[in-house]
A and B are shown apart, each in its own frame.
Chain A
Amino acid sequence: MRVPTHVIKNYQALHTWTGIIAGLLLFIGFFAGALTMFERTLDDWSQPPVTRLAALNVAQMEQLIEHVAATEQPPESGFSLNFDDQALAPMVWGRERGFNVNPNLWLASLDGDGQLELQQQQPSNLATLIDQLHQTAGIPGTLGHESLGVIIMGVASLLYFLALVSGLILWLPAWRKDLFAMRNGRNKKRFWLDGHNAVGIISLPFHLVISITVVVFAFHDVFYGSLQEAVYGDKPMFDFNNGVTQQQQPLQQLAPLSNVIAQIEQRAPDYQLSQLEYLRLNRPGASLRASLEHNSAVVRGPHAAYLLLNPYSGEIIDDTYMPDSDSGWMVPVTSFFALHFGSFGGTPMRWAYFLLGLGGAFLFFSGNLLWLEARRKKIRRHSSEVSQPLSVRVMAKLTVAIPLATVLAVALGLALSKWLALWPQHSNWDFIGLFYITVSLSLFAAWRLTAGELLLTLLRLLSLACALVPITSLLACVTDIGLWPSSGTGWGVDAVAAVFAVLSFVAAKRLAQRQWAADSLWRVPAMEPSQALARTDAKSV
C-alpha cells in the first residue's frame, strides 16, 4: 500500500514523540495491569492464614447478622457478606469509600460454639497497591476527587491512541513484507523493530480498547459534564431515586438473607454469588449489591456482574448491570468494561490478558530502544572518544531506570511481604515506602552509572528479588519461624516469580558477556576496558 512521503514523515514524528512522552508511564500501567489479572490470587497469597475467620453457610450468616446487630457498635453505613472461602471473613465492614492504604476493617464470624468472633485488623493490601500502581503509575496526589495519577494516565492514554494510529500508518506501506517477519541477522535494530511491529499489530485491537477505556476512566466527569451542558441542559442525566426511602433502620429490619438469595437465584440461576454489599444503610437510597460470577459471561466488574436489590424488602430494583439485561444500551458499555478488565472467558482469558499486558510493556520498552538506537551517534573508527548526545544518554538511563525500578520494586514487595508480616509494626505503608525508595535509588544510580552499568545492576537485583519469592515460600514449608507456605493457585505466584528470576539472570549474563560496539549505549565500561573499541562493527542493542 502506497502512503505519501509527507504523511509518513508527519506520522513518524507523531509516533516518536507520543511514544517518548507517554511510553515510560504506559510501561508501568501495563506491567502492573498484567499482574492485576491475578489480583485475587496475589491477595490470597499475601495474607497470613491466621488473619482469616471461618467461612459460614447461609443459615449461620443470618445468625451472624443478628449477633452483630446486637453488639454495642453495629456497622452504620454498610457491610459486606462474603461467600468465597478465600475471603478474610464472612462479614466485613469499615472500608471507606475510595482507596485507603491501611483499611481498619472489622471482621466477624461465628466460632465452633456459634458465638460471635469479632476482630479489628489491618490486612495486607499488597494486591490492591499493585492495582493502584496500575491505575496511577505511582504518581501521588489528587485533583478534585480523582487521583492525579489517573488523570495523568488519561493524558498518556490520549497520546497512546495517537501512537497506535500513527504506528499503523507507518507499518502499512510494507505490511506484506513485515507481517510476521522476524529478521534476526546482523542488524539487531531490524530484529527489535520486527518484534515491536509484530507485538503492536497482533495486539492492536487490545491496545485500541485499552487506550479508549483509560481515557473514559480518567475523563468521565468531563464527558458527563459536557453532555449535561450541551445535550441534557436542565434535564437530570441520572435518576438516583431507587425507591428505597427508609433510613437509619436497625440491621434486624433487613430482608432475610434466605429471601435475598432466593431472589438472586431466580433471576440469575447460572451465576455464582460471591458477595453481598449493603450500601448507604444510614441514608435514603440504600441498596444491596450482589456480585455474581460466571466464567463464560461478559461481566461488568473485574470479576463479577452486579444485581441491585432493596436491602429491606429483598426485591430486585436494577438488573441493567447483568450481561443478559434487556437494556441494549448497556451491552456495549458492559463490553468496554469487560474488555478492559479481561473479565470474560475465565482463567484462560486472564492468562491471555497477562501476556498481552506484558506484551504492551515490551512495546513501550522496545519503542524507546528503537528511538535511542536511531539517534545514537556512530563514532569514527579508531577514535578513542565515545560520547553520545546528552538527550540520548538521559533517555537511555530513564528507559532503564523507570521500568526496571518499577519491576524491581514490585518484586521486592512480593519477596519481602511474608518477612515484613513477622514485624509487629508492619503496615501497608512499608510497601509504598519500598516502591519510592527503589525508584529514587535507581534514579540516583542512573545519575552515577552508565546506562549499561545501570541495566546490568538492576537486572541482577531483579533476579535476586524474584528468586527470593519462591525461596521464602519453600522456606516456610520446612521451617517454623512464622512464614507461611503458598496454597493452591498461590504457588503460581512463586512459579511466575521464578520464571522472572531466570529470565533476568540470563539477560544479565548475556549483557555482561556480550562484546558491545564502542559507541553502544549498553556497553559496560568496567567490564571491557579497551577491546570494545576495536569492534566498532559489533552488533548493537
Chain B
Amino acid sequence: MSTQVIRGWRWCWHTLLGLVVGFLLAIGFVGWLGFLTPGGLDGNDKVQFLMWSIAPVWLLFWSVSYLFSARQWLFAVALASVLNITLLAYRGVW
C-alpha cells in the first residue's frame, strides 16, 4: 500500500495511470471472459454483456488505485499487458 500523501503533479500521474491501466485491464479481462465462457464471441446478447462488464471493472480499479504502492502498480501494469498481449495473440492478430 502506498505510504505517501499524494501532492501536486503526482495527482495527475496517479489519475492518468489509474484511468489508462484500469481501462486496459478491463478490456483484457472482458476479452478473456468473452473467449472462455460458453458460446465464445457469438450472439448479439453476449456482446452487450461484455460491453456492460467493462465499466464496473474499470471504475473499481481506478477508484482503489490511489492505494497502490510502486510494486502493486508494477503488478497491475504487467497483468494488463499480459492479458491484452495474450488476447491479441489468441485471436490471431499476431
Contact = CB atoms under 8 A, between A and B. Distances in A.
| A interface bracket (residues with beta carbon within 8 Å of B) | 35 or more
A350 to B, nearest CB: 24
B75 interface: no
Interface string B31-74: 10011000001011111111110111001101110110000000
Instruction: Choose among A13, A212, A216, A223 the residue with the greatest number of B CB atoms under 10 Å from its CB.
Output: A223
A480 B84 CA distance: 70
Classify the interface of chain A: helix, strand, loop or mixed: helix
Contacts of A165: 60, 63-64
B57 to A, nearest CB: 10
B67 A7 contact: yes
Contacts of B30: 227, 231
Nearest to B46: A329
B49 A166 contact: no
Given A4-B1, A162-B62, A231 B50 contact: yes
Contacts of A70: none
Interface in A311-349: 320, 327, 329-330, 332-333, 336
B70 to A, nearest CB: 15
Nearest to A320: B45
A237 interface: yes
Contact of B41 (A164, A231, A327, A330): A231
Nearest to A237: B47
A164 B93 CA distance: 39
Contacts of A9: 5
Contacts of A320: 44-45
A13 B6 contact: yes
Nearest to A165: B63
A487 interface: no
Given A7-B67, A162-B62, A212-B55, A330 B49 contact: yes
Classify the interface of chain B: helix, strand, loop or mixed: helix
A230 B31 contact: yes
A340 to B, nearest CB: 11
A455 interface: no
Given A7-B1, A235-B41, A215 B27 contact: no
Contact of B31 (A211, A224, A227): A227
A216 B53 CA distance: 10
Contacts of B91: 231-233
Contacts of A223: 51, 54-55
A230 B66 contact: no
B54 to A, nearest CB: 5
A333 B64 contact: no
Contacts of B3: 4, 6
B54 A231 contact: no
Nearest to B62: A162
A233 B55 contact: no
Contact of A330 (B48, B54, B84): B48
Interface of A: 4, 6-7, 9-11, 13-14, 158, 161-162, 164-166, 211-212, 215-216, 219-220, 223-224, 226-227, 230-233, 235, 237-239, 320, 327, 329-330, 332-333, 336
The 6 closest A-B pairs by CB, nearest first: A165-B63, A329-B49, A231-B31, A327-B45, A329-B45, A161-B59
